[in-house]
Amino acid sequence: NLAAQGLDNPRIAGEVQPYSINHNVVTGEWATRSCDTCHGEDSLVAQAMPIANRTPGGVTPTFVSDGSVQTPGAFFVNESGALLYSPKPEADLDPAGLYILGHDSVWWVDWAGIVLFVATLLGVTAHGGLRYIAGRRYAHHHPELREVYMYTVYERFWHWMQTAVILGLVFTGLIIHKPDKLGIFSFAYMVQVHNVLAAILLINAAMAAFYHFASGEIQKFLPQPQGFFNDMFVQAKFYLSGIFRGEEHPFEKSERRKFNPLQQVTYLAILNVLLPLQVITGILMWGAQRWPVVAAQLGGLVYLAPFHTLIAWLFATFIVLHVYLTTTGPTPLTGIRSMIVGWDQVEVKS
């Protein structure tokens, strides 16, 4: 009897030393080569892990933790008496949870994005259909047009580069988010492509910022405060009613005023809010293993990943709306043509 030997409060205690799960822990033949081992619906990281085949004295051990490794989950004993540890991967914005790319997602973020995207797609389809019907039913005015060199070579290069990169990021991001639904593609390869495209996006955005500030072109994105809200309503009214009656565009497009009020506020929000947030969250997700303390200060992947996903849905929705609105010029292809050749056909205000 230990107590009889003078030991104070003798008892059985068990401790488990946790180690963080990282890439590049081992190399060569010891490394797991299949990404879906962890980044998939049946992720091993999300399954119960055997700790010991028995529990001495029925005592459940505790983790030895210095704060550098998170241990969300709980120990449990199965029917045979073995001790296992069950992680808590289903984060759902729980700061104590794990978030495994390709395995976890926040359901309401996904559904909100899908609903917004589909609603926008249906909305522009209905709007386009009504325009077609109205065009056949009512006599529309045929405005006088003039050719204007609207977009420089650099502006066109920047536009199409951003378009290709954003489409690529949305596509590869969707595969990374739901690899089980698109298993035909290599998860590891898509991650690499996604990171390369993100770097191109960041470089292109930085160069564009320098160009627009140095050339003064930034002014075309800045709405004039006086009468701006009234102009927004005028433009919205045109899209909701005037366009069906064949009315002329309320604001004349020119080299100095390339965007209408709604375009200005939209691009201002995208380039100054959504794009920086997407870049920041993307960098923090990429660096979560490299700089865990920095990522943890913002909630870790549990918050960063769903927020990154939500912004991605907003970008995908914007692309649909943006492409459709290019068809509202003098002809359906005028807008796209102008971004290819630089010359645009603009209405001469009567």
Closest residue by Cα to residue 140 from 325, 323, 328 = 328
The structure tokens listed for 227 are: 């009468």
The string over 253-269, giving b where at least 16 C-beta atoms fall within 10 Å of a residue's C-beta and e elsewhere, is beeeebbbbbbbbbeee
Tens of pLDDT, residue by residue over 109-122, are: 999 999 999 999 99
> What is the reported pTM?
0.85
Q: What's residue 37's pLDDT? A: 85
Structure tokens at 173: 């991001």
For residues 136 and 130, give the distance between their C-alpha atoms in angstroms, rounded to a whole number.
10
CA dist 158 to 107, 190, 203, Å? 35, 24, 11
Q: Residues 91-114: what's their mean pLDDT? A: 79
- pLDDT, tens only, 49-74: 899 888 887 888 888 876 667 777 88
| Mean pLDDT of the region 157-161 | 92
Over range 239-267, report the average pLDDT. Answer: 86
The pLDDT tens digits for 15-43 are 888 887 778 777 777 778 788 888 888 88
Collapsed DSSP state (helix, strand, coil) of residue 5:
coil
| CB-count burial class (<10 Å; 0-12, 13-18, 19+) for 145 | middle
Q: What is the pLDDT of residue 235?
A: 93
Backbone angles phi, psi at 251, to 5 degrees: -125, 130
The mean pLDDT value for 202-218 works out to: 86
| pLDDT of amino acid 281 | 95
Q: Which residue has the higher pLDDT, 214 or 123?
A: 123
Residue-level pLDDT at 12? 82
Confidence band for 127, pLDDT divided at 50, 70 and 90: very high
Domains recognised in the chain with CATH numbers: 15-87 (no CATH), 107-347 (1.20.950.20)
Provide mean pLDDT across the span 228-239: 91
Q: Which stretch of 171-180, 289-298, 306-315 has the lowest confidence by average pLDDT? A: 289-298
Q: What band does 1 get if pLDDT is binned at 50, 70 and 90?
A: low
pLDDT of amino acid 92: 52
pLDDT score of 90 more than 70 = no
